[in-house]
Chain A
Amino acid sequence: MSTGLDLEYSFNELLKGLGLSSEIAHIIWLPFPMLIVLVAAVVGVLVTVWLERKISAAAQQRIGPEYAGALGVLQPIADGLKLLVKEDIIPAKADSILFTTGPVLVLVPVILSWLIVPFGQNLLISNVGVGIFLWIALSSIQPIGLLMSGYASNNKYSLLGGLRAAAQSISYEIPLALSVLAIVMMTNSLSTVDIVNQQSGAGILSWNIWRQPVGFIVFWICALAECERLPFDLPEAEEELVAGYQTEYAGMKFALFYLGSYINLILSALLVSVLYLGGWGFPIPVETIANILNIPINSSFIQVITATLGIVMTILKAYLLVFIAILLRWTTPRVRIDQLLDLGWKFLLPISLANLLLTAGLKLALPRFFGG
């Protein structure tokens, strides 16, 4: 198994060369990956917002944003600036403490979950042992924030939206966790790095999507439902609930919800690519290409190229999924709340359970292909 680039090690060596102790070098290192990932997440949101505007325009035969920068690329920045300078309104009858805490509780777990997204062998903030389980646990905090903001707004639309959001994310969390469990069972590890490495054997052929097609579809549907994207955007269904739990929010607090939902979408896309599409892996294994070209895989030049390729592949796969999500949003009608809950409890839950059992059986029968 190639170790790949280890930036932390090189950085620490550099600082030690300057005469600092390894502990201080570690503390100086710590904020860097966090800052980079945070900036990457925000830039990713800007790109996604622009894509959403452009693709929705294309789906409706419009042009979309046009004047802010070339092809309107600066439009999301203009949106963000507008939200930044807007007046921050707290309704007079609202509960101001809960009203302010709600959006924070929605955003923080989503950003924390980026801790485990790998862009390469060593290119992630922390390779924690509980890995993907951490994401499942963190995403279960979000409903509390939604309930909080729905309740604190003192508005019946908000409360209904908050309750719907919480009901939806609780119902879809179970099939989501079960389909992740099938992958974990094949990998024998919860760590996202191990999950990608387990798929890296034969390039595109060894990706989990071929071994877990049902799990892939269940996971994708549940991820869309967790992100509250159409066809599952009932918590903010405009025609019924004005804007659901966001109704009373304006300015920066609304921006937090907006940011949170898009960061969550990108995170879900990244995790689908990590769990099912081989993560940072190139469709043809890099080792094979290096062997054919007779280049030693451990030379530093190749290492840098491999790492760059890994980042590009991860982002490419994620944005392909984001594209599909946007296309789905602008081409599908919304489901009703009873259909939504029926789909979650009566269809996805049994299917993901059966998928888990089947995976366990196949793992025992064909340990070579399903992880021994």
Chain B
Amino acid sequence: MSIAVTTQFICFAVLSLVIIVGALGVVLLENIVYSAFLLGGVFMSVAGLYLLLNASFVAAAQVLVYVGAINVLILFAIMLVNKKEDLKPMKYLNSRRLISTTICITLLSLLIRVDLSKVWKIANPNLSIGEESTVRIGEHLFSDYLLPFEVASVLLLMAMIGAIVLARRDVLTKDISTGLPVDQELIEKSDKPLLIKKN
């Protein structure tokens, strides 16, 4: 094995280990803040895997979108939710855990089965386009993938407006999940700006 191949193998092994251990940590840790930070680590390691596959643009986009935007928003949501409530222990916790573990293992075995069947074409590593991939991605996004791309952006816009409607409690008078009337205090609070209003 040449030095380059060895380095690549070591990188792959380390990244895979970080992804698997990190992902398990995200699911299994009790502290939600740790889970969120570990999720960022998992996203970064996935970006590392993309780099190993010579897809540097996808790797950078992964870091920008998943780590820089989504993970930061998750952390924001966790840190800004300051509603103090006593968490009751869930009923049938052990059986719930058992069911979800079974479903996850089934999904995993299904994925492994698909992976082993090799139904897809494996690109010739000698024909790798390397740095040109950025140009190719751009060409595809503006020609044959234009419609899916735009539809995805409309979907995100809808999600954003929905989130704003849900978060601004003065829009709806009833709580979405419980159907109870919204806490009046919160409505009054949102009318008063937190900072001095600009003239």
Q: Interface on A for B, CB 8 Å cutoff? A: 23-24, 27, 98, 101, 128-130, 133-134, 136-138, 140-141, 143-144, 147-148, 151, 159, 162-163, 166-167, 170, 173, 190, 336-339, 342
Contacts and interface: CB of A to CB of B under 8 A. Distances in A.
Interface stretch (B19-27, B54-62, B99-107, B181-189): B54-62
Contact of B68 (A128, A134, A143): A143
B67 to A, nearest CB: 6
Contact of B79 (A23, A133, A140, A151): A151
Contacts of A143: 68, 72
A98 B29 CA distance: 15
Contacts of B68: 137, 140-141, 143, 170, 173
Contacts of A144: 37, 40, 67, 71-72, 75
B131 interface: yes
Given A23-B3, A166-B76, A136 B134 contact: no
22 contacts: A23-B3, A128-B56, A129-B57, A129-B130, A129-B132, A129-B134, A130-B57, A133-B64, A136-B60, A137-B60, A140-B63, A140-B67, A143-B68, A144-B40, A144-B72, A148-B37, A151-B79, A163-B79, A170-B68, A190-B134, A336-B196, A339-B198
A30 to B, nearest CB: 11
B84 to A, nearest CB: 15
Interface residues of B, number: 30
* Residue from A136, A147, A170, A338 whose CB has the most chain B CB atoms within 10 Å: A147
B128 to A, nearest CB: 13
B2 interface: yes
B89 to A, nearest CB: 24
B33 interface: yes
The 8 closest A-B pairs by CB, nearest first: A140-B68, A129-B131, A137-B60, A137-B64, A137-B63, A338-B195, A130-B56, A130-B60
A27 B7 CA distance: 11
Interface in B58-88: 60-61, 63-64, 67-69, 71-72, 75-76, 79-80
B4 interface: yes
B43 to A, nearest CB: 10
Instruction: Say what secondary structure dominates the interface of chain B.
Output: helix
B131 A166 contact: no
Interface in B1-52: 2-4, 33-34, 37, 40, 44
Nearest to A143: B72
Contact of B69 (A162, A170, A339): A170
Nearest to A337: B195
Interface of B: 2-4, 33-34, 37, 40, 44, 56-57, 60-61, 63-64, 67-69, 71-72, 75-76, 79-80, 130-132, 134, 195-196, 198
B33 A151 contact: yes
A170 B80 CA distance: 16
Nearest to B132: A129
A147 B60 contact: no
Given A140-B68, A144-B40, A167-B76, 5 more contacts: A23-B4, A129-B56, A130-B134, A141-B63, A173-B68
B56 to A, nearest CB: 5
B80 to A, nearest CB: 7
A23 B195 contact: no
A337 B194 CA distance: 11
A214 B27 CA distance: 46
Nearest to A129: B131
A190 B134 CA distance: 9
A170 B64 CA distance: 11
Nearest to A98: B37
A151 B44 CA distance: 21
Contacts of B63: 137-138, 140-141
A173 B63 CA distance: 14
Contacts of A141: 44, 63, 67-68
A239 B167 CA distance: 31
B2 A23 contact: yes
Nearest to B133: A129
A263 to B, nearest CB: 19
Contacts of B71: 144
A33 B72 CA distance: 33
Contact of B75 (A27, A134, A147): A147
A107 B102 CA distance: 42
B134 A338 contact: no
A154 to B, nearest CB: 12
A190 B72 CA distance: 25
Nearest to A138: B63
Contacts of A339: 198
B79 A159 contact: yes
A275 to B, nearest CB: 17
Nearest to A339: B198
Contacts of B76: 147, 163, 166-167
